[in-house]
Structure 1
Amino acid sequence: MERRDFLKKAGLVGAGAAVSAVPLAAPAIAQSAPEVKWRLTSSFPKSLDTIYGSAVEMSEILKAMTDGKFQIQPFPAGEIVPGPQALDAVGNDTVEANHTCSYYFVGKDPTFAIGTAIPFGLNARQQNAWLLQGGGQDLLNEFYAGYGVVGMPGGNTGVQMGGWFRKEIKTLADFSGVKMRIAGLAGQVMAKLGAVPQQIPGGDIYPALEKGTIDAAEWVGPYDDEKLGFYQVAKFYYYPGFWEAGPTLHFMFNKAKYEALPESYKAALKAACAYANEITMAKYDVKNTQAIRSLVGKGVQLRPYPREILDAAYAAAFEIYDGLSASNENWKKIYTPWKDFRTQTYEWFRVAEYTNDSYGYAMQAAGK
């Protein structure tokens, strides 16, 4: 068909001038998109650029995806509310969003711990798989709804280090009476080993170690720990952080405000959170590689936890989990399928991932 015949059949011949004189209408989505401005309170100080930066990354992507129509402004811990109050601040609509670790709120219900990490749990890949494809986030959001919030994964640090100690830990008995800053259910595990767990926000750990108010502290890993200066007041740096094999950060949103969003904004928010979730892990994998070498160069003494301690901690952890399953329906509803998933994914990872990694690491250690 020639162009002129097509135009005739389309009823456009003779109307060219009129068509060219009428401006094209803006897309319907742009016409209907409302201006939305939210505030986000972080549980982390701005000085921790990687972990706090996850919220910044998310907000920048969200703004770009919505042509600036939907904006979320992050605030560091303490600027609006203290970090440990991030959940309440969103639930009561003081702010619309937070960026936090759900295990900070185990005082309200131990079930919150599963959203971040529990001792001897899933690594970062396995945790993402459980949350995003294994039904984990759906289960968590059913639980979070009781507190007026909706959660989305917002970063992962990878397996963490086992903490800074002012004195060397050689045997299980050395934990007796040790005052240790440690979060989540890990504190209960360490208490069974004889330690005295302390809940202290990240920004307060250094002075507590320096003054001797605490004897040990865990935070994240080499990059963040070096930035906070722990190596200056505690020389023994233990690994692994068996209580946080793949700890997930979460963005939480006021449930009513989230549900009132246009569907296009919900999709953009989900995509922005997914980007932050992915980029945070990548940043830590790069920055921790550099920071661990730097710390050793500054005289830090790396120490593995003795098998005796790991075995005692493992037994203590699952004793706690069994007790919670018998007494807490919220915990049981999430922990039971989580444990089934853990069993199955461990079986798979042992086949290819573990054997491949173990061989490669052994060859690298041998200088080959």
Structure 2
Amino acid sequence: MMTKQTTRRGLIAGAAAGLAASAVATPAIADGNRKWRMLTSWPKGSPGPGQSADRLAKRITDASDGRISIKVYGAGEVVSGFEVFDAVAGGTAEMAHTAAAYWTGKTAAAAFFTTVPFGLTSREHMAWIYHGGGQALWDKLYEPFGIKPFMAGNTGMQMGGWFKQPIRSLDDFKGLKIRIIGFGGDIYRRLGATTVAMPASDIFTNLASGAIDAAEFLGPWSDEAFGFYKVAPYYVWPGFNKPNGTGECLIRRDLFEELPVDLQTVVQDACIAEHAYALAEADWKNADALERLVSERGVTLMPLPDDLIAAARTEARLVLDAALAEAPLGKEIEDSYAEAQRKAKGWGAVGAAAYQSIRDA
């Protein structure tokens, strides 16, 4: 979670300057076709969300027969990964690929549209967004910013992170400096750690230099590609703070609403397709990468200690209550999300969870 907010006017001005310097200030519509820029929070083409962004752009471009042509920019090419929301809201770019958990400093309830600690799994989250009223609440939350959001990629269940030293008790955790975002960072601070928010591209350098002692990012596939195992060999689980990895496509609302109906459908269907494809990809690639990290990379898998999990569960409730107390739509979104989790728990107990317990016994 961002700890310091750049002023809106300054941020947008800076973003605009960056675009000019990069010679990417193309018009939104040329020769009857729309030319859009997609800014992302990921290094260009990086495994997981970076590849989702590229595929989403191609899906929309191809399915629209070039009537919407999208060029993708990685984090830092135009603005930093933490500035893409403001760039779209301010009109600097037409769209972005990112994650709602980055925007809790703007509106705390945004986290529910990526993930919250001890919250919905990926499939449960999809059910809430598509069928439980989640999309309507998301639209309502982002409407003041002039942004239309869609789910558009998912990195699945997350791991607990990379540590330079083993974590065997809550005491081992205290005093560590950890890269983490969202409400998980608030929980970790209450448990005695020092937390730092930084873009994915900066994590390895800071781990290697000793500027941070640990880092949480995504799952085995993406984490392996960034090389975190080279400098922090202890890989902990479960990722209680991020049980889901929904990515979001942000589009300037005025641009989306002025699209003809067939192009609106193209955009929506492309987002749905990418979300489903990316989640399946994450499950497959994470399984491969986890085996490789242990058998070839010398990584030590460690469960987070019981006392840390118990303390985190207690703190999670306090963190959410404090963050949402004055947040726009906070209670409405949390109530809807909680109802979705209640339904999922009941069905899961006799459905997927029950089956996996007997299959894997």
TM-score (structure 1 length as normaliser): 0.87
Which runs of 5 or more residues in structure 1 are unaligned? Answer: 1-32, 363-368
The aligned counterpart of 1:72 is 70
CA contact (8 A) 2:46 2:222 kept: yes
Hey, what's the Cα distance between the residues in 2 that align with 1:242 and 1:92? Answer: 34
CA distance in 1, matches of 2:262, 2:351: 40
Distance 1:300 1:59, change over 3 A: same
Partner of 1:283: 281
The equivalent residue for 1:272 is: 270
Match of 2:204 in 1: 206
**154-163 or 51-60: which moved more?**
51-60
- Which of residues 293, 306, 310 in structure 2 aligns to 1:295? 293
CA distance in 2: counterparts of 1:53 and 1:190, whole angstroms: 30
Alignment partner, residue 307 of structure 1? 306
- Which of residues 40, 43, 46 is equivalent to 1:42? 40
SS in 1 for 2:358: helix
CA deviations 1:193-240 (Å, max 9, x no partner) are: 111111011010011111111010011111111111111101100011
Corresponding position of 2:245: 247
User: Which deviations, in whole Å up to 9, do the C-alpha atoms of 1:83-120 show, x marking residues without a partner?
Assistant: 10010010011000000011111111211111110101
Q: CA RMSD in A?
A: 1.3
Q: Which whole-Å deviations, capped at 9, do the CAs of 1:313-347 have from their partners, x for residues lacking one? A: 11110122223343334211211111121112111
From 94, 97, 105, give the equivalent of 1:96. 94
Matched-pair identity in %: 35
* CA–CA separation in structure 1 for the residues paired with 2:290 and 2:112: 28
Residues 13-34 of structure 1, C-alpha deviations (whole Å, 9 max, x = no match): xxxxxxxxxxxxxxxxxxxx94
User: Contact (CA 8 Å) 2:47, 2:221: kept in 1 or not?
Assistant: no
Contact kept in structure 2, 1:91 and 1:149, CA below 8 Å: yes
Partner of 1:336: 335
Contact 1:222 1:288 survives alignment (8 Å): yes
Task: Please give the alpha-carbon distance, in whole angstroms, between the structure 1 residues aligned to 2:269 and 2:63.
Answer: 9
The structure with the larger Rg is 1
Map of 1:135-174 to 2, 5 A cutoff? 135-174=133-172
How many residues matched?
A: 330
- The one-letter code matched in structure 1 to 2:341 is R
Give, in whole Å, the separation in 1 of the partners of 2:318 and 2:145.
28
Q: Which amino acid aligns with 2:228?
A: F
Residues 146-195 of structure 1 show CA distances to partners (whole Å, capped at 9, x for unaligned) of 11101000111111010000011111111111100001111001111111
Structure 1 residues 5-154: aligned runs within 5 Å: 34-154=32-152
Which one of the candidate residues 216, 219, 243 is aligned to 1:218?
216
1:208–1:55 distance in 2 versus 1, CA, 3 Å: same
Cα distance, 1:74 vs structure 2: 1.2
Aligned AA (1:280):
A
Q: Shift of the alpha carbon at 1:75? A: 1.0
**SS of structure 2 residue aligned to 1:151:** strand
Displacement of 1:361 after TM fit? 2.0
Runs ≥4 residues deviating over 4 A: none
Whether 1:322 aligns to 2:321 is yes
Equivalent residue of 1:250, what SS? strand
C-alpha deviations, 1:55-94, integer Å up to 9, x for none? Answer: 2211212122222211121111111111100100100110
Provide the C-alpha distance between the structure 2 equivalents of 1:292 and 1:325, rounded to a whole number of angstroms. Answer: 35
Could you state the TM-score of these two structures normalised by the residue count of structure 2?
Answer: 0.89
What is the SS of the residue equivalent to 1:36?
strand
- Asked if structure 1 preserves the Cα contact closer than 8 Å seen for 2:152 and 2:246, the reply is yes
- Determine if contact 1:62/1:71 at 8 Å carries over to the other structure: yes
Q: Contact conserved, 1:324 with 1:332, CA < 8 A, in 2?
A: no
